[in-house]
């Protein structure tokens, strides 16, 4: 199979990381004869793929309706005799459909969908999800499938392949005081943290309300860490000031050293209220960090309540605070959860496991 992965995403999140992970895993797959990445120029995906010496080509994409780019995609597919086009973003979806419709190449289209979001909001969006050239829609969790059912007529075209983590990147499991030293955190303070883009569905407001409740109770000594950047960051910082929590909450900004930083957490608190899967939770598993997360979206497919972590009621800071207090005070339960979580990760979400499942779905399309 000659495989092309395509995205025009300009950000770097779990989905973009997945493209790189799959490319790396497929290098050792005898069923993949050749593989390529088409992506927007001057983006994190393009830069990382170039750095890793992958077969990547950058596109100048000004619009998802750009006929010139759609033609370039078709020419690329013909030149490299692509069998399957694996689509990783909404705008790439539009371009791939236009390319297939107008320029009549023979490659089969497969869509990867990672958002819990209705797509039956207008005629064109609904049409492109039902386009005959899309042979399969691979979703990251069952809630993603459920929301697509409102738009996609043939439900048999949809399947689920979960999120992926490269466990080899997360080998540090012992603390060395990195965060305590960098941010002058008292040595007797626990670190309770979150790693997430500052965007609406990550629900940092509930996270901060939970911190407010924990500070009010004053039963645990802790400093609270927020890692990430995003459009809502200033709003969140203002909310922290309104709550007079500046001395309790540390903003680290965007960090490239997550494999070194994450094991410093004593507990990972994740309040996302519409999470497709929560790839960062898998990274917490890899680092043996105990987890309290919202019972939302695809998170229950990653966190097994009372076995690999605790699930709290969505948007409920009291319930979050109760569960954080309980788990932080139970070292033996933390050990049990982190051991179970690591095993759950190894069995279900590694590069090898997910790439094998993904190849099976792609190859099924190729052989039809």
Measured over the CA atoms of residue 173, residue 175, residue 180 and residue 182, the dihedral's sign is negative
Shared-domain flag, residues 114 and 251: no
Asked if pLDDT for residue 307 goes beyond 90, the answer is yes
Shared-domain flag, residues 153 and 259: no
Shared-domain flag, residues 218 and 105: no
Asked if pLDDT for residue 330 goes beyond 90, the answer is yes
Read off the pLDDT of residues 254-296 as tens digits, 9 standing for 90 and up: 999 999 999 999 999 999 999 998 899 999 999 999 999 999 9
Read off the pLDDT of residues 157-184 as tens digits, 9 standing for 90 and up: 999 999 999 999 998 888 999 999 999 9
* Mean per-residue pLDDT over the chain, rounded: 96
Shared-domain flag, residues 105 and 228: no
Shared-domain flag, residues 138 and 217: no
Shared-domain flag, residues 342 and 244: yes
- Poorest-confidence range of 14-18, 104-108, 231-235, 351-355? 14-18
Range of the domain at 285: 167-348
With cut-offs at 50, 70 and 90, classify the pLDDT of residue 251. very high
pLDDT value of residue 280 = 95
pLDDT value of residue 173 = 84
Asked if pLDDT for residue 37 goes beyond 90, the answer is yes
pLDDT value of residue 93 = 97
8 Å CB contact between 37 and 5: yes
For residue 281, give both structure tokens: 């939770």
Shared-domain flag, residues 230 and 157: no
Residue 346 CA to residue 351 CA, distance in Å, equals 9
Quote the strand ranges of the chain, DSSP E: 2-7, 34-40, 56-59, 84-87, 108-113, 134-139, 158-160, 190-195, 222-227, 249-253, 267-270, 291-294, 310-312
Q: How much helix, strand and coil, in percent to the nearest 5, is found in the chain? A: 45, 20, 35
Single out the residue of 14, 27, 49, 13 nearest to residue 3, CA to CA.
Answer: 27
Percentage of residues in the chain having pLDDT higher than 70? 100
Asked if pLDDT for residue 29 goes beyond 90, the answer is yes
Shared-domain flag, residues 354 and 344: no
Shared-domain flag, residues 185 and 261: yes
Give the Cα-Cα-Cα angle 363, 162, 316 (nearest 5 degrees).
160
Asked if pLDDT for residue 88 goes beyond 90, the answer is yes
Shared-domain flag, residues 212 and 340: yes
Read off the pLDDT of residues 197-234 as tens digits, 9 standing for 90 and up: 999 999 999 999 999 999 999 999 999 999 999 999 99
Shared-domain flag, residues 156 and 204: no
The residues, any chain, with a CB within 8 Å of residue 297's CB and separated by 6 or more, are: 116, 141, 143, 272, 273, 274, 275, 276, 277, 278
**Using DSSP, how many helices (H) and how many strands (E) does the chain show?**
14, 13
What CATH number is associated with residue 83?
Answer: 3.40.50.2000
Read off the pLDDT of residues 96-143 as tens digits, 9 standing for 90 and up: 999 999 998 999 999 999 999 999 888 999 999 999 999 999 999 999
Shared-domain flag, residues 214 and 328: yes
pLDDT value of residue 363 = 97
pLDDT value of residue 244 = 97
Q: How many domains does the chain have?
A: 2
Asked if pLDDT for residue 368 goes beyond 90, the answer is no
């Amino acid at each position: 199979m000659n495989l092309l992965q395509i995205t025009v995403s300009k950000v770097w999140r779990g989905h973009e990381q997945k493209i790189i992970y799959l490319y790396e895993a497929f290098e050792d797959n005898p069923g993949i004869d050749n593989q390529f990445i088409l992506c927007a120029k001057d983006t994190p995906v393009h830069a990382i793929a170039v750095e890793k010496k992958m077969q990547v080509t950058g596109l100048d994409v000004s619009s998802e309706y750009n006929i010139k780019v759609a033609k370039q995609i078709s020419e690329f597919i013909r030149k490299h005799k692509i069998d399957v086009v694996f689509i990783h973003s909404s705008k790439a979806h539009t371009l791939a459909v236009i390319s297939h419709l107008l320029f009549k190449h023979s490659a089969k289209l497969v869509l990867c969908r990672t958002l819990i979001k209705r797509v039956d909001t207008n005629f064109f969006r609904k049409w492109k999800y039902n386009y005959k050239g899309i042979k399969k829609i691979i979703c990251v969790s069952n809630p993603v499938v459920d929301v697509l059912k409102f738009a996609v007529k043939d439900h048999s075209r949809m399947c689920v392949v979960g999120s992926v983590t490269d466990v080899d990147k997360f080998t540090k499991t012992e603390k060395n005081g990195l965060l305590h030293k960098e941010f002058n955190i008292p040595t007797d303070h626990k670190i309770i943290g979150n790693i997430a883009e500052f965007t609406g569905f990550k629900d940092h407001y509930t996270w901060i309300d939970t911190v407010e409740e924990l500070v009010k109770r004053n039963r645990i000594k802790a400093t609270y860490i927020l890692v990430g950047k995003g459009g809502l960051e200033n709003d969140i910082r203002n909310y922290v000031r309104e709550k007079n929590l500046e001395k309790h909450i540390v903003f680290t900004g965007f960090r490239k050293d997550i494999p070194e930083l994450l094991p410093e957490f004593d507990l990972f608190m994740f309040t996302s209220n519409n999470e497709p899967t929560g790839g960062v939770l898998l990274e917490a598993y890899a680092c043996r960090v105990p987890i309290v997360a919202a019972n939302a979206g695809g998170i229950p497919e990653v966190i097994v309540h009372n076995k690999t972590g605790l699930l709290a009621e969505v948007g409920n800071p009291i319930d979050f605070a109760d569960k954080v207090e309980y788990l932080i005070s139970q070292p033996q339960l933390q050990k049990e959860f982190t051991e179970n979580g690591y095993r759950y990760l190894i069995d279900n979400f590694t590069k090898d496991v997910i790439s094998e499942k993904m190849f099976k779905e792609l190859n099924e399309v190729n052989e039809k």
